[in-house]
Structure 1
Amino acid sequence: MNVLLAVLAINPYLPSSTTMRRLALLALLLHSANAQYGYGPYTPTTTTTAGATSTSKASSGSSEGSESSEYGIQISRHSVVVAHVTCGALATLLLLPVGVMAARAPRAFTSKRWWFPLHACTQVLGLALVLAAFGIAWAHFAVHTLNTPHRKVAVAFFAIIITQAALGILTHAFGGPRRGVLNYIHWVFGLCAIGVGWAVAWLGITNEWEYRMHGKPAYGYRVGWGVVIGFWILMYAVGLTLLPRQLKRERADAAAAAAAGEHGNETETEVAALHPPKSQSN
């Protein structure tokens, strides 16, 4: 084919030789380019049905079933989803509620602040898992396209939990021995964060699950979510019934501390009167 086009391009005796030579030269160039770079996307041919099945499985597995990092590590899509769900569930359904209860119930029975390390540790771990779940979603699920209720509420929850952590630090750093405005803001904002976190979990196992074409979620997931939420609501209600006991104990501790302070001042005065300064000798 190339030889024929070359002869047509250089033959001066053909009628309308100039036009014919130009057309032949153009055809020669196109044919050469196509021969070198191909005529379009190449689809490998398969001779058997089994070969076609294996080829399609390999291509779909490489594009959807796994992801490879720059180090060549294969991460399955299923493993990514499991990691995201685990981090989110542990944070919203376990660690954050435990931290709230640690700050609620023990103060009704003791003046010691052993509850505060438990509260702080669980909240820090919960925040770390929220960051991990959000990072996994951002890296693998294109969460920047906020086109589902789960993703929208998750972004709001992320902002709320960061703000709540900042409020906790400010309350601990600048709050005095008595409760101030920061304490009440931190308390109310914490309850809001817990509620939004529960909503994120619910939308994840219902709306987002079907949107990502995982099929209809099992009914047991919804029942389990309801059982966990009901348990924490019941525990917090019990903790609120202990609030009068906590306030009574705090008033008694404050009165005892004030009495001890007054008694200490009187003792110092009496001791000072028993040891008058020595008179100077003339």
Structure 2
Amino acid sequence: IPEGLIVPFTIVMPAMLMVSIIMALLEDSGLLPRYSVAFARVGSLVGISGEAVIPLSLGFGCRTPAVVASRMITRERERFIVITILSIVIPCAATLGILTSVIATFHVSPAIIVATMLITLVVLGLILNHLLPQEKLFVCELPPLRIPTWGNLLNKVKIRFTGFFTEVLPLLLVMSIAVRALLESGVLEHLYALEGISRTLFGIPAEALVAVLVTIFQRYLAPLILLHMTLTPREATIAIAMISLSLPCLPAAVMIIREIGARGLLKILGMGFLTSFIVGIGLNMVLPL
């Protein structure tokens, strides 16, 4: 069975269940608004308020429902920034799990990957906050703290999981099959002609560059391609960073079109390509040979 068909059930679903339970506990206990207020000061540096903490937290489970959760953000400017950060920077649980295997396999330094992602998050947020200036006002009512009840917890988890099964999971499965068919067809092998450009600009083989491009279909499938390659630690570091900071997968892209339109998606895709390429070129320049 292709790995892409197993991952939605073995990694994405358990991660979504865990995130859903944690979010339900925070909501029902009254801690979530306090979490949002605490996040507001940090978020203001990149132009987002405490409301963004919910979709950003959900993004570590799966970005597709996280994009849907961004509806709770009332200001369009802030919502665009949150969706952009979700699409380019925040890694979903499936990607994190498989990237961990890639890091261990090729003896990559996790500190370099984490530092690169944090720097990119701050720089991207500052740029968006500068290009989309607006007075930020965050008002949040703090409910009293209370002990969560099982009934409320189960209902909230059920609501989130129902949306996952009806909107997200079918797209994940279809994309997994489509990517597998694309890889088996050999169409992407024509990109191997870019070996010289890939080596010069990014310091990685063209096969790894193909893995980066696969992120537009499913980001968590791209690291699986790396696992079947022979890479040096330096090459693996650059490839992992470019995959981690690239494009929204197709299921997330579909949701982005529904939420902010095709023009918004095109802007995010452009920023995703630019971010991934700049990160690749930058690491190729600073990492020792």
Q: Which band: TM-score by shorter chain?
A: under 0.3
Determine which structure has greater relative contact order: mean sequence separation of CA pairs < 8 Å that are 6+ residues apart, divided by chain length: 2
Structure 1-normalised TM-score?
0.23
After TM superposition, the score normalised by the length of structure 2 is 0.23
Larger Rg: 1
